[in-house]
């Protein structure tokens, strides 16, 4: 199996079939296998749980955020070298906002495994990927709710089947962005506990854990490294792709992420009402999350951390990325740190934040493959 951007139709079919069934598999003529591990949520923050219990539920899903079974117990894919013992080196790959499929990341994880030799975990953010009820994204099921939202909000800009669930849930309660982030942080903390205790099926105790983080996954990874629960991430490296911006510099108004009314409300909420809410004094992630909202919040705490961690952070930002603009990344890290850590690239074809490597003949395949190679060779060299 190649380490470039190409994936044959046969290989793509094998991935699609086994990911839908969450079945362990390997690719012939390659040195890699994909296993699925089970995560059952045990480490919880009562402060966040109580918040989730108080959140109203939208019409298409009456289940409380605090008790949704799909979110509390799920499987996550592990890409690893075939026929090997447990590894002691791992990369956790964190995805973008409002994503339901790992398909975009199959080639990313494959390249990282083959180029670094490390095990790669694709870990889903709370209420994303397979951590949601299927009906949230079934067009037949939610058609009436889509039409209702269009009518109530006078056909909001960029409202689609793909972002209806996210838009409706966050419009109702923008606080969900925070509670979901905190829950995911605690999940990863629990994952680290399991690894440390030798309970992970594919990783040894004291495994070195680094991060490859895309889009909003970078926000989560930055806050995790900054808060550093139990000292697990003292030496962790972070590679960011199309991510790392302060929240108030982002633009989530996208048919793939959320509609315009929702993102406008999110910006207003997190720059005003959220800051007035009492934080969780027992949760160091709370402070780090808040420090990433805008440049005026805990600026010294944030920039001093990034300055001290310059050698552990690297990233690539795209010139035409309007969702995660490089200007917002510079404000998050500080100009001097960003100058040392962040490389700006501009691909020689039309691309977007959501689709940095367009396929289906939307761009010259050879050029796309070259840019993919450039990004992931840079990431692999840093994380190796």
Q: Report pLDDT digits (tens) over 192-216.
A: 999 999 999 999 999 999 999 999 9
Check: pTM over 0.85? Answer yes or no: yes
pLDDT for 4 beyond 60:
no
Mean pLDDT of the chain: 93
pLDDT at position 1 over 50: no
**How confident is the model over 291-312, as pLDDT tens digits?**
999 999 999 999 999 999 999 9
Rounded-to-integer distance, Cα 183 and Cα 32, Å: 31
Residue 59: pLDDT over 80: no
In words, the CATH class of domain 9-383 is alpha beta
Residue 150's Cβ-count burial label (10 Å; 0-12, 13-18, 19+) is middle
362 pLDDT above the threshold of 80: no
| Inter-axis angle of helices 176-196 and 284-291, nearest 10 | 130
Task: Please state, in angstroms and rounded to a whole number, the distance separating the CA atoms of residues 322 and 20.
Answer: 32
What's the whole-number mean pLDDT along residues 114-126? 97
Q: Are 315 and 288 in contact (CB under 8 A)?
A: no
CB-based contacts of 177: which residues, under 8 Å, 6+ apart? Answer: 170, 266, 270
Residue 218's pLDDT is 98
Which among 47, 45, 51, 52 has a CA at the least distance from the CA of 66?
52
C-alpha to C-alpha distances, 297 to 27, 244, 246, 329, nearest whole angstrom: 48, 16, 10, 15
């Amino acid at each position: 199996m190649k380490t470039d951007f190409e994936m044959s139709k046969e290989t793509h079919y094998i991935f699609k079939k086994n990911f839908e069934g969450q079945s362990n598999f390997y690719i012939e003529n390659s040195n890699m296998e994909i296993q699925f591990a089970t995560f059952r949520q045990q480490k919880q923050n009562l402060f966040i749980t109580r918040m989730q219990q108080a959140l109203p539920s939208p019409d298409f899903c009456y289940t409380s955020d605090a008790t949704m079974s799909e979110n509390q117990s799920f499987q996550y894919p592990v890409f690893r070298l075939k026929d090997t013992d447990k590894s002691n080196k791992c990369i956790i790959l964190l995805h973008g906002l409002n994503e339901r499929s790992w398909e975009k990341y199959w080639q990313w994880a494959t390249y990282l495994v083959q180029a670094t030799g490390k095990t790669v975990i694709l870990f889903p953010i709370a209420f994303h990927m397979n951590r949601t009820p299927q009906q949230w994204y079934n067009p037949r099921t939610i058609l009436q709710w889509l039409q209702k939202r269009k009518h109530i909000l006078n056909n909001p800009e960029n409202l689609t089947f793909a972002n209806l669930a996210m838009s409706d849930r966050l419009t109702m309660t923008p606080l969900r962005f925070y509670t979901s982030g905190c829950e995911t942080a605690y999940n990863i903390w629990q994952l680290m506990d399991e690894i440390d205790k030798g309970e992970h099926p594919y990783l040894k105790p004291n495994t070195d854990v680094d991060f490859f983080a895309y889009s909003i996954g970078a926000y989560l990874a930055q806050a995790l490294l900054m808060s550093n629960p139990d000292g697990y991430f003292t030496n962790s490296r972070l590679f960011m792709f199309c991510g790392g911006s302060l929240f108030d510099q982002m633009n989530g108004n996208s048919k793939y992420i959320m509609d315009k009314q929702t993102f406008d409300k999110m910006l207003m909420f997190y720059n005003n009402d959220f800051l007035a809410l009492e934080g969780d004094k027992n949760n160091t992630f709370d402070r780090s999350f808040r420090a990433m909202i805008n440049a005026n919040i805990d600026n010294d705490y944030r920039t001093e951390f990034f300055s001290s961690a310059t050698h552990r952070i690297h990233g690539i930002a795209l010139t035409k990325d309007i969702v995660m603009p490089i200007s917002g990344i510079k404000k998050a890290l500080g100009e001097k740190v960003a100058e040392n850590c962040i490389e700006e690239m501009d691909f020689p074809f039309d691309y977007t934040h959501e689709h940095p490597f367009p396929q289906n003949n939307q761009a010259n395949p050879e050029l796309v493959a070259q840019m993919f190679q450039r990004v992931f060779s840079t990431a692999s060299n840093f994380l190796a």
